[in-house]
Amino acid sequence: MRTEVAIVGAGPAGLLLSHLLAQDGVESVVIETRSREYVESRIRAGILESSTVELLDAVGLGERLHAIGDQHRGIYLQWPGERHHLDFVDLAGRSVWVYGQTEVTRDLGRARDAAGQELIYEVTETAVHDVETAHPYVTFVDADGNDVRLDADVVVGCDGSFGPSRSAIPDQAKQTWERTYPYSWLGILADVAPSTDELIYAWHPDGFALHSMRSAAVSRFYLQVEPGADINTWSDDRIWSELAVRLGHGQDGWELTPGPITDKSVLPMRSFVSQPMRHGRLFLAGDAAHIVPPTGAKGLNLAVADVGLLAPALVALLRKRDSSLADAYSDTALRRVWRCTHFSWWMTTMLHTSGDPFDAQLQLSQLRWVCTSEAGARGLAENYAGLPIGF
Ligand code: DHB
């Protein structure tokens, strides 16, 4: 097989890249190890920055997002006895949208189907070859067991943290940074109307809690738990009573309404950056190059920002033989990556209890400053609502 751009990974980054390239007449083939059902149903993040929404709108992908997504002006930050609203529209001139990554992935899949795009699911043994030459290629075994060689002008790794693409960059040509956090998140989805109009990020001595949502009838919650906690030790009753305590049920008359839990999982918390994001004819986008802890909901937005930069760079490279944007891609993308890496680390360390009483006092002082100083609030708002494309 031959194509112009071989895309490894059919998550939001890979599918969006394929869509953006097609808009400029550049052909791609997308391969994915998982099944389409798995990719379209796994529960992931749910907050879109305004620049993400603007990009999706500009390329004809905003219809369902505007029909069933929810625009939010800001968030609540709280600690025992206090809840403060931060209004991002007032503070930074931008809002955010609640719209699940699952929905974004479905919208992208439908748009690619409508365009007749080749999406090849359930491949195994994917390997990336000869990226330092002008003739890179990808090999894999398709779902029927056939060995396939996919030749391309460019290969893009959108295959997440554990995919094969990043390891096609030799160790001596890359540098990595990593931070693991001494806690995990327990995430649940529940068939119950949200007990809040906007997300609540709660500091609590028993650990962080987050009340998020997916729709008027579906709520999403997270609890800080021990690293790698055993999900079997978290019964539904235990989850609801812990959420009630940490989110302040009864505080100033606020009530948390529990409901049937439909999904439960434990998420690790990690920061990771691999640099450069380009090696020869291989480009990386999204989690293949960087992981942020979930606090602040940056992962999906960063992946979208990466491909928003990469698509025009590849179009210029392949259509005009102009390599300037492709040459600048890694440095340009990494500016936003490090900003989001810092913001996610900062939100994470401000809100999760470490067990150290000195840390707790610093966190409470920081939270008070963010909620009472306009400069503090604006710093959080600018980062959370998202830096403009091209930052
Ligand atoms: C969600 C996830 C986040 O990490 C976050 O900061 C806010 C919301 C969510 O899944 O809804």
Would the CB of 275 count as within 6 Å of ligand 1?
A: no
How far is residue 364's CA from residue 369's CA, in Å, rounded to a whole number?
9
| SS3 at position 118 | coil
Give the global pTM.
0.97
Would the CB of 297 count as within 6 Å of ligand 1?
A: yes
**CB-CB contact of 354 with 206 (8 Å):** no
Residues 6+ positions from 266 with CB-CB distance below 8 Å: 184, 185, 186, 187, 225, 228, 229, 231
Residue 180 gets the label, from left (phi > 0), alpha (psi -120 to 50) or beta, of beta
Q: What is the pLDDT of residues 305-360, one digit of tens each?
A: 999 999 999 999 999 999 999 999 999 999 999 999 999 999 999 999 999 999 99
pLDDT at 388: 77
224 CA to centre of ligand 1 in angstroms: 13
Q: What is the pLDDT of residues 96-112, one digit of tens each?
A: 999 999 999 999 999 99
pLDDT at 77: 98
Q: Are strands 119-120 and 124-129 parallel, antiparallel or unpaired?
A: unpaired
> Residue 390: which pLDDT band, with cuts at 50, 70 and 90?
low
**CB-CB contact of 263 with 189 (8 Å):** yes
Counting atoms of ligand 1 from 1, which one is nearest the CA of 299? 4
Would the CB of 299 count as within 6 Å of ligand 1?
A: no
